[in-house]
Chains A and B, each alone.
Chain A
């Protein structure tokens, strides 16, 4: 009987099984969401911590959407439901779907609708939408894409999101140019380099866009381990043979997937 109970306990607290119970197990550091990029997961201690706010910061063009899509793909493949709150209306279902994300499990919420509303009003809507989603419970991942917005959230708003995330066990992922949640973020990943790579498959052949070489630095980690850097690539055609170095053109990849 004791052995059965021990097995049951082990199963519940296994890192990759999110239990349906509320309480201390929801905020355990062992519950992580992986990106599927080994170098990054190793630096993060296994992935993003559940029930906490995580930030990916860096200028647009340095690969923060690609990194968020990697986490999103991993979450939906595991059978979780995710939400993407889109401040700038930049969600591209074609490329996100090509990344292996199950779009039927992603709730998209746009805040850049046709209604003529002020920027400040849109921010309020964005935050309210985030609170509503996280309050619902059952979402494994909530991505808040702030677009080019560069000034931080009010402490009260960040605190509300942090508390609700802790209660529901949702991974909150903020994509922004700068840090948004201050002390309430458990992890801040700074994309310090996103270098564009072009290749020419043969002499006189047309140039092809290969992708970005990205370096991510753990700028803040409440759970320990800040200052590390992980390097990885975001490629237009990740399935291209590295030896031949011939990627497919960008248009062909997105439509073939």
Chain B
């Protein structure tokens, strides 16, 4: 083999570059951002369904909520724990989770779920932030 030294050194350098991500971040996962729970939500203490289930299935729940309310006029959700909730993204979900940026957007950004257009229509307004700020008004 001609120029064996150069080639081998070149190969080592190439392998070093090619495998850089593996030995640099090897075994470590980038930590997912934690959704921030508002003080009001903490006071309430529970979501419509158990937190773990909500994390995995909130998108299905929101879809079912939408169809039930809009198309079947069933506007009350009886959760698996037997509690009743008004079906409303703006008036029920956002009452606790009034911090959309730190509750919804953060994780969606991380997970690459950008195509949602909920907020083109549903209001995430200052008024709602005011509700959350004045806990005692409920």
Are A and B co-members of a single complex? no
Residues of chain B touching chain A, judged by Cβ–Cβ distance below 8 Å, are none
